[in-house]
Structures are given as C-alpha cells and as structure tokens.
Amino acid sequence: MTFAKPFRTLLLLVLLALPVLQAAVVHAVQPDEMLADPALEARARELSKHLRCLVCQNENIDDSNAALARDLRLLVRERLVAGDTDDEAVAYLVDRYGEFVLLQPTTRGWNWLLWAAGPILFVLALILAAVYLRGRSRAEASTEAGLSPEEEARLKRILDETSSS
C-alpha cells in the first residue's frame, strides 16, 4: 500500500493548514467603520451580507475592499444609527441604487420572469424530449410492421425490372 502513506501525509497537511486558511478570510470592514453598539453593528453586518458591491458585482459589501462598498457600509450604519429598521435601511439603498444592490433580488415586476425562466425552460425541454421520443418510437413501430402484400409485389416488380436491364 504505497498509495496510503502519501495520501495520509497530504490529508494531515491539509488538516493542519485549515485553521490558517480560515483565518485568512477577513472581512473588509475597517475598525473605524464599526459602531460602538454591538447590537447595531451585528445588524449592520447582517445587512451588509445581503447587499451587492456595485463595483465587484459578485461580492457583498461586507467582503469588498472597493471604495464604494465602504461608502455603502457607512451609509447602512448611518441609517441604523438614525433609527431605521433593517427593511427601511435596505429600502433606502434600493431607492437610491436600484434593485441591483440586492444580492437576491425580489420577485416583483419583471423580475418574476427571470426567476421563472429556468423552471419554464426545463419544463419546455422535457415536453420537447417527450414529443421527440414519442415520434421516434412511432416511426420505429411503423417500420417494424413491414410491407403490405401490395408493396411487396410492387417492390419485387421494380427489382425484377432493374435486374433484367
């Protein structure tokens, strides 16, 4: 078993490096952005996880180092300190930047079409596959039936004519 020893060694190295790798994942929130009230800071961090960085576009503002993400984090904290609820703070950002700022957009308006497109196309593909397979099985069944006696006689005449020519 020469394979087992290198595998165990590699597994041990990965397990030892795992805490170091987890510590490398650092949020972009700077100490000067953090609120003194731990409850408000926790709310701000939770909201930040669901808001898109408009520069990075596939990262939440809590993890982004972009200047605009910092501005959005500060804006969220300002709104919370001003007394806004979580929904009001998010609504303020959506009013200002549009639904694109949400990492998970709502299903209102035309967005429902985007949400439904995947399942609709999947069902359509299933229907088309069923129609295709059904037509194919009918075609195979009709060719398995063979030729009628009239068709066989006609085929024999044609073959006889071509062989005699």
Amino acid letter, 14: V
pLDDT band (50, 70, 90) for residue 164: confident
Q: pTM for this structure?
A: 0.53
pLDDT of residue 25: 47
Mean pLDDT of the chain: 81
Q: Do residues 12 and 80 share a domain? A: yes
- Which of 3-8's residues contact partners 24+ apart within 8 Å by CB, and which partners? none
Q: Is position 106 within any domain? A: no
Q: 80, 101, 122 — which closes off a domain?
A: 101
Pairwise CA distance, residues 21 & 26, whole Å: 10
- Domain co-membership, 140 together with 87: no
Q: Is the pLDDT of residue 31 over 90?
A: no
- Secondary structure (3-state) at 121: helix
